[in-house]
Amino acid sequence: MQKTDVVIVGGGLVGLSIAYGLAMLGRQVSVLDEGDDALRAARGNFGLLWVQGKGYGMSPYAQWTRESVALWPRFAAALQADTGIDLHLRQPGGFQLCLSDKEMAEESRRLLWLREAMDGDYPFELLDAAQLRTRLPGLGPTVLGGCYSPMDGHVNPLKLLRSLYAACRMRGVTIINGQRVSAIGQRASGFELLTGQQRWFAGQVVLAAGLGNRELGAQLGMDVPVSPNRGQILVTERLKPFLHYPTTYVRQTDEGTVQLGDSHESTGFDDGTSSEVMSTIARRAVQCFPQLGNVRLVRAWGALRVMSADGFPIYEASQACPGAFVVSCHSGVTLAAIHALRLAPWIGGEFDEPAVAPFSLQRFSLKREVRHAG
């Protein structure tokens, strides 16, 4: 039996951000990570720190996202101070490129709603094709317009995961790989977890296991409505820098490769690729930047992202099992800073955090009740 203050189930970006935050508060933390055969949502991420359009229909999420990107420089600096790893954080703003009038109208509608919901404090610009072309050289003639927001940015997500591992270990976090948690139970003064032949005991347990949260949450009496959403990503050969802003379809990384993506499919637990979706992604990227048509693709892969029933994060402090927390979200990179610097202190009981209240599981049961009543 191994004892610790907090056990975090899941060693991805979400789990390690929280582990890092708790370690900075002096907590003794163990992270149980499943292993490289796990589904690993991080494989599907695009490295965006994305704000524009998020929280449509739920302004607290827009606010939370903005606060996270505001914390990002401090978070990246802390990681760099601890590990020496430069995450290549850049926050020059980002572009959503629109290839049809319908898309432009839809994006505008969402951004205008958000600006209204945020009392006017929500900077963005709607740009026509000519305006866009002055800012993004090489843009194709079929890009009809786009939205720019200075709130957006990007980071190297591989270096982020690596630096979180290094920083957590440096601060005394125990990260154990190859530990699939098979059972969790509440005991008199904490939680007992079983992984294969090993038993773990902790005063607090944080479920940050991505799609695994559904099954693990159920063991603690919580209904965690998350399901897989497949994204496919293509990556090109290394090119001299040509795209100095992140866009939702095309992003050039700090090391020269270009990521192409932004597909959304419901394929159950199949994390493979399909030629139909890959060709759609490639076609759209070439529409955005026609010269990409002459560029080699070096890899393509699929990954399963974590989607909650309404698309917004879940932060739950269990009422029935005090000390148990559920953290599920789609945007593990964007929210990494606030997960480390605000969510972890909330989990650690350092202070009350009213900003997390809208993200509790309660919203799903409330919705069901309303539906029944109607």
For 49, the enclosing helix (H) or strand (E) is strand 48-49
What's the min distance (Å) between Cβ of 236 and another protein? 9
Q: Does 240 bind another protein (CB under 8 A)?
A: yes
Contact pick of 255, 268, 276, 283 for another protein (by CB under 8 A):
255
Site string for another protein, 79-108 (x = CB under 8 A): ------------------------------
Q: Does 291 bind another protein (CB under 8 A)?
A: yes
For 233, the enclosing helix (H) or strand (E) is strand 226-236
Evaluate whether 111 touches 103 at the Cβ level (below 8 Å): no
What's the min distance (Å) between Cβ of 188 and another protein? 53
The window from 59-67, 231-239, 336-344, 362-370 that contacts another protein (CB under 8 A) reads: 231-239
Which residues on neighbouring strands pair with residue 315, listed in sequence order?
Answer: 327
Contact pick of 56, 201, 242, 364 for another protein (by CB under 8 A):
242
Contact pick of 92, 137, 268, 293 for another protein (by CB under 8 A):
137
Evaluate whether 293 touches 283 at the Cβ level (below 8 Å): no
For residue 89, give the amino acid letter. Answer: L
Q: What angle do CA 38, 199, 201 make, to 5 degrees?
A: 105
Judged by beta carbon, residue 136 or residue 233, the one nearer another protein is: 136
d(C-alpha 163, C-alpha 168), whole Å: 8
What is the full DSSP assignment across 277-336?
A: HHHHHHHHHHHHSGGGGGS-EEEEEEEEEEEETTSS-EEEE-SSSTTEEEEE-S-TTTTH
Site string for another protein, 260-289 (x = CB under 8 A): ------------------------------
What's the min distance (Å) between Cβ of 296 and another protein? 6
Judged by beta carbon, residue 255 or residue 270, the one nearer another protein is: 255
Judged by beta carbon, residue 170 or residue 298, the one nearer another protein is: 298
Judged by beta carbon, residue 240 or residue 372, the one nearer another protein is: 240
The crossing angle, in degrees rounded to 10, of helices 157-170 and 13-24 is 40
Residue 241: Cβ within 10 Å count: 9
Q: Does 237 bind another protein (CB under 8 A)?
A: yes
Q: Using CB under 8 A as the criterion, which residues of the chain lie in contact with another protein when the complex forms?
A: 137-138, 237-242, 255-256, 291, 294-296, 298
